[in-house]
Structure 1
Amino acid sequence: MKLSIERGTLLKALAQAQSVVERRNTIPILANVLIEAEGAQVSFRATDLDIEVVDRAPAMVERPGATTVSAVMLHEIVRKLPDGALVNLTEDPASGRLSIMAGRSSFSLATLPKEDFPVMATSEYSSNFSAKASDLRRLFDKAKFAISTEETRYYLNGVYLHVSTGEEGQVLRAVATDGHRLARIDTPLPEGATGMPGVIVPRKTVNELRKLLDDDEATIAVSVSETKIRFATPAITLTSKVIDGTFPDYTRVIPTGNTRRLEVDASEFAKAVDRVATVSSERSRAVKLSLDEDRLILSVNAPDSGAAEEELAVAYSDERLEIGFNAKYLLEIASQVDRENAVFLFNSSGDPTLMREGNDTSAIYVVMPMRV
């Protein structure tokens, strides 16, 4: 194998591949990236056996071929090369090494046989559709903060992507919850997605997928089966196993009878919560909300460190209410609001609270209160 490729193009392709590779590997081949050169392009494939990413880039291929080298090492070398450099990759089968040359720099890396590299089995995808990158990004970005990190409830360690019925008809819906807060985000159902099976997309996949969705204009081809999900652009294909488990019935925890309505400027609210939470102990981080006619008082009382209070002008016309929340949860939910105003709907100090952006019901959040 012998090829030449521009340093920036190579770095971009390697960045996606090497981030999938697990740093601590007991299987040496999994630390490697499979480089395959043919025609006028080169592809870089990396896997951790649960996720596989293939990144394709244009290159001048002098001699086609394939080999595997350390993904992290190759990425580091290319990252440190000067901008605009032309990188030459040459595999020497006799010595089992890959030489990397750019300008006056040359490196030689050990390779492992390409035959040992595990390629994820292709599965029959029962559903194939296309979606705008901006729509998918909104679904996952707004839901992922609520993904559980508790390994015992593994079925909550991802985003539940499924077809559901919203106020405007059928929607593609993403739901995540950790038992303390919940995010439910809808987007219009893409053509061809009607029969899609509901799948739980793992946390790591959600984070890797973010890199594919940067370009607002891009269209992503999505393929779904009972066991796998695949996202593809012309340059990158990301395939992932889905979590083998049943996502709980989240509709039961979304309150429908909350009538006490608070409307507040989202960014002002987030800043105020952040300020008063400064004095609270890390362990509880509880913030009390005291609501009265068009007035909200945020307070924290931490006996070991101090107290804080801040008043905000809000729109609220129901009876007095005092309710406590974990400050971190409040901040994370408030930071999801793209519009100016956040609307909170309360029932009582012991019941779950619903939050949405103005009157938009395509993104709703539920947070459990705390005793304060």
Structure 2
Amino acid sequence: MSKQIHIRLEDSVFDALTKYTGASGQSVQYCVTGALIQMLNKQKSPEKSDSLFSFIDLFAGIGGMRIAFENAGGHCVYSSEWNKYSQQTYFANFGEQPEGDITQVDANSIPDHDILVAGFPCQPFSIAGVSKKNSLGRATGFEDKTQGTLFFDVCRILKAKRPKAFMLENVKNLCSHDRGRTFKIILESLNELDYQVFYRVLDGQNFVPQHRERILIVGFDRKRYGSDIDFDFKITPPDHKPVIADILEQDVAEKYTLSDKLWTYLQNYAAKHKAAGNGFGYGIAPPDGVSRTLSARYYKDGSEVLIDQSGKNPRKLTPRECARLQGFPDTFKIPVSDTQAYKQFGNSVVVPLMENVAKLIVETLNNSAIQDSAQKEVL
């Protein structure tokens, strides 16, 4: 939902704005809205005196990582996200709009921070150029190996700002992408930047009623703490393991119930693949269990996570239920359409799992700082 305002401009300002929009190819609304958001972003709340650390939120999406790291005691000093609908949701919840295309951002302009957080997209890495340089006996660094990928932007910011630690999140398949070569390049690049790296595939189903495996890559600055860093993904699940029934709303609009046509199609599709020996098909989420992984394609038909309804066709989850399935609080605002909301939550993270890992990172930083201080006193 959007609202309208009417403003009066001096002739000179109007003429300048008209000239600018004509040259840039952008609408007046886009330019004025952008200028207002820039002004509001300058009014960011100052860092809290009780903040344990500062962090930046790259490829921020709708802010799942931000919530996790703020809950762990952090203060966000910078965010970046290019999708305009995700920017809308982020602004609605945090009062600031992330900067756009990270590839156009000067790394040195980003504020200093303790922890870099990024759920970077997985892109193909070019092996040909690296292989050619190796055959010529020439050394290659992360810039040669990762140039042209969004992971390169993570690396150049790590190099420029040198945070104490980082946490990267990606799909489980990153490990096997391109026969493992992509992940190998990622680890080599982070090692060349002199970070001690740890990684593990974690499943969010102990924190939310959803089977959702993601790889987390955590690194600590060897220049500060050396290579003898003790870190482990020792997550602490809640006492109560949540189930699907815990996240369901009581009164759900009829529009979320599958039409007869769509329900028939999904049943026939599942039957066809079952006959062929494949496991493809819809998924009815058990009320006392966990669902399949929620994906960004959920808006299309909701087939991976359907809710059974007695005496009628199954239904899709509502956007609020999707938010709960990812561990977002009910206070989280959803200002966009259902279609965009499904995409956003399908692309997001299991917030309480990320919070758990964030606290482990902070604990390790504190312990490493104490050990580093003690060693300096001995010397």
**Normalising to structure 1: TM-score of the pair?**
0.20
Bigger helix fraction? 2
Higher RCO structure, 1 or 2 (CA under 8 Å, sep 6+): 2
Structure ID, larger Rg? 1
**Normalising to structure 2: TM-score of the pair?**
0.20
